[in-house]
């Protein structure tokens, strides 16, 4: 009994990992001009009431799945877990997803997210039905590279900043599921990040 308890305790302790995260804060100077300042904070992966191997962030549970599947098969797997492929609605959530990937994939390879234009070319939608209210595309993306990405799906992890890229949906990659809790309520604005 005691060796099993020690193993479980060690496993749960090893799954709580701190990673540095940079968030943006606007600093308004005396002339009314704003400067963006990067602040280093630490993000801890925590279960917080989520099932085993799922991690909580802002009221949702997330799971990194290392098995390489197509976008459609990954979405079906997530649905079988009462979730969808992850939809990302803020820079903070993007940073959490980046931390999750880094924690489970030290090579930091491409990882599927729930964004696609499978219903209509060029019209991007999240698989959970939420509005696309935040984007983090790499420069020049989405680009339908070579005209072969007609059924485009998004993936995270392009370059060191983990920006998004469009790929053909039949390509296989690891993926992230996120629990369904409804779409975030936001002031009507479209966030575009150009770094």
DSSP 137: B
The token pair at 178 is: 């996120």
pLDDT value of residue 15: 41
- pTM of the predicted model over 0.85: no
Give the whole-angstrom CA distance, residue 75 versus residue 176.
9
pLDDT value of residue 7: 35
When the pLDDT of each residue in the chain is averaged and rounded to a whole number, the result is 76
State the average pLDDT over residues 14-31.
Answer: 41
Is 114:126 a contact under the CB 8 Å cutoff? yes
Count of other CB atoms within 10 angstroms of residue 82: 11
Q: Given CA atoms 178, 181, 184, 190 in this order, what sign does their dihedral have?
A: positive
Going by pLDDT thresholds of 50, 70 and 90, the confidence category of residue 18 is very low
Q: Biggest alpha carbon distance in the chain?
A: 66
pLDDT in tens, 80-98: 999 999 999 999 999 999 9
| Domains present along the chain, CATH in parentheses | 47-192 (3.10.100.10)
């Amino acid at each position: 009994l005691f060796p099993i308890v020690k193993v479980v305790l060690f496993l749960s302790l090893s799954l709580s990992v701190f990673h540095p995260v940079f968030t943006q804060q606007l600093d308004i100077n005396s002339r009314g001009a704003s400067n963006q300042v990067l602040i280093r904070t630490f993000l801890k992966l925590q279960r917080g009431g989520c099932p085993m191997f799922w991690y909580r962030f802002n009221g949702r549970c997330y799971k990194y799945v290392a098995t390489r599947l197509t976008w459609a098969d990954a979405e079906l797997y997530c649905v079988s877990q009462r979730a969808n492929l992850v939809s990302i609605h803020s820079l903070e959530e993007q940073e959490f997803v980046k931390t999750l990937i880094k924690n489970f994939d030290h090579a930091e390879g491409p990882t599927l997210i729930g964004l696609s234009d499978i219903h209509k070319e060029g019209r991007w939608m999240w698989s959970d039905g939420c509005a696309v209210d935040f984007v983090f595309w790499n420069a020049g993306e989405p680009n339908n590279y070579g005209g072969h990405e007609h059924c485009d799906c998004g993936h995270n992890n392009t370059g060191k900043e983990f920006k998004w890229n469009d790929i053909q949906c039949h390509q296989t990659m690891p993926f992230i599921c996120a629990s369904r809790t409804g779409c975030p309520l936001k002031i009507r604005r479209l966030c575009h990040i150009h770094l």
